[in-house]
């Protein structure tokens, strides 16, 4: 009887120690999460919340590198990684809209061929890194992946296009670098870079005329 009581006492003591240890681990983890959350300004909560339903996309593409195998136009390209039944993944660049190239009988928009040629020259055949955003959707209504593309030299393709006057900062959809891209476009306009050198009012895309009617005063 005495031995049984001692064994029961030992088991209870071990159980209490395990519970105490678990409580300490939980407290430490909560403290670490709190520190990380403060360190990243709430970004941790935002990322966990945003990627909850799109974790497969995030783990497959974010911060991973793939070759550019085809350039559709200035703001759209294909990466050499399968996407569902497709042999490649089509990416629509975030934060920018470039003029359209010629499609069938529809003529190219002003500076459309130049934008396509620019993206082809700096991206085609190169290993680039995909950066997904924590604002907005992961894909557009056509199923294209929405992403920033980091070039081998560390620059961001969307920023290169806007800064050099090959496209417009897209004001229709919010993203993490919205204000920075608007400022980048303003600098391109002020320096008359690329299309801003000779673009006419009627050559601006309809959405831009609608979103920024003040731009009409700054172009011919």
159-168 pLDDT, tens digit each: 999 999 999 9
Q: How far is CA 189 from CA 12, 112, 127, 197, in A?
A: 75, 17, 30, 8
Identify the bridge partners of residue 128 per DSSP, sorted by sequence position. Answer: 66
% of the chain surpassing 90 pLDDT: 60
**With 80 as the cut, is the pLDDT of residue 215 above it?**
no
Sheet strands (E) in 85-177: 89-93, 96-97, 127-131, 145-150, 168-169
Do the beta carbons of residue 63 and residue 130 sit within 8 Å? yes
Under CATH, which number does the domain 55-217 receive? 2.40.50.90
The whole-number pLDDT of residue 69 equals 98
Query: Among 212, 175, 216, 203, which residue's Cα sits nearest to residue 115?
Result: 203
Task: Please report which confidence band the pLDDT of residue 101 belongs to, taking 50, 70 and 90 as the band edges.
Answer: confident
pLDDT averaged over every residue in the chain:
85
**With 90 as the cut, is the pLDDT of residue 98 above it?**
yes
The whole-number pLDDT of residue 29 equals 63
Report the C-alpha gap between 212 and 30 in whole angstroms.
46
The dihedrals phi and psi of 68, each to the nearest 5 degrees, come to: -85, 115
Report the C-alpha gap between 128 and 64 in whole angstroms.
8
- Here the tokens at position 37 are 């959350």
Do the beta carbons of residue 178 and residue 162 sit within 8 Å? no
Do the beta carbons of residue 73 and residue 116 sit within 8 Å? yes
Report the C-alpha gap between 84 and 111 in whole angstroms.
33
Report the C-alpha gap between 98 and 106 in whole angstroms.
16
**With 80 as the cut, is the pLDDT of residue 11 above it?**
no
14-65 pLDDT, tens digit each: 666 776 676 666 566 656 655 655 554 445 445 544 555 688 999 999 999 9
Catalytic residues: 92, 100, 144
Cβ neighbours, 10 Å, residue 81: 18
Report the C-alpha gap between 186 and 173 in whole angstroms.
18
Q: Does the reported pTM lie above 0.85?
A: no
- Here the tokens at position 177 are 């670098």
Choice between 209 and 23, residue whose per-residue pLDDT is larger:
209
173-188 pLDDT, tens digit each: 999 999 999 999 999 9
**With 60 as the cut, is the pLDDT of residue 2 above it?**
no
- Beta strand 145-150 with 89-93: parallel, antiparallel or unpaired? parallel
Mean pLDDT of 70-80: 98
The whole-number pLDDT of residue 53 equals 62
């Amino acid at each position: 009887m005495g031995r049984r009581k001692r064994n029961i006492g030992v088991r209870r003591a071990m159980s209490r120690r395990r519970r105490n240890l678990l409580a300490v681990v939980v407290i430490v983890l909560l403290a670490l999460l709190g520190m990380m959350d403060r360190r990243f300004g709430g970004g941790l909560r935002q990322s966990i919340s945003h990627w909850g339903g799109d974790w497969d996309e995030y783990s497959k593409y974010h911060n991973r590198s793939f070759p550019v195998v085809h350039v559709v136009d200035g703001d759209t390209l294909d990466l050499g990684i399968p996407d569902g039944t497709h042999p490649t993944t089509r990416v629509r660049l975030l934060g920018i809209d470039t003029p359209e190239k010629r499609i069938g009988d529809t003529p190219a928009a002003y500076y459309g061929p130049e934008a396509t040629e620019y993206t082809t020259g700096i991206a085609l055949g190169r290993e680039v890194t995909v950066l997904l955003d924590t604002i907005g959707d992961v894909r557009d209504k056509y199923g294209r992946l929405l992403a920033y593309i980091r070039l081998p030299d560390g620059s961001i393709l969307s920023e290169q296009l806007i800064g050099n006057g090959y496209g417009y900062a897209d004001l229709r959809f919010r993203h993490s670098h919205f204000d920075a891209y608007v400022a980048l476009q303003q600098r391109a306009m002020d320096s008359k870079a690329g299309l801003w050198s000779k673009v006419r009012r009627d050559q601006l895309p309809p959405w831009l005329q609608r979103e920024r009617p003040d731009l009409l005063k700054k172009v011919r």
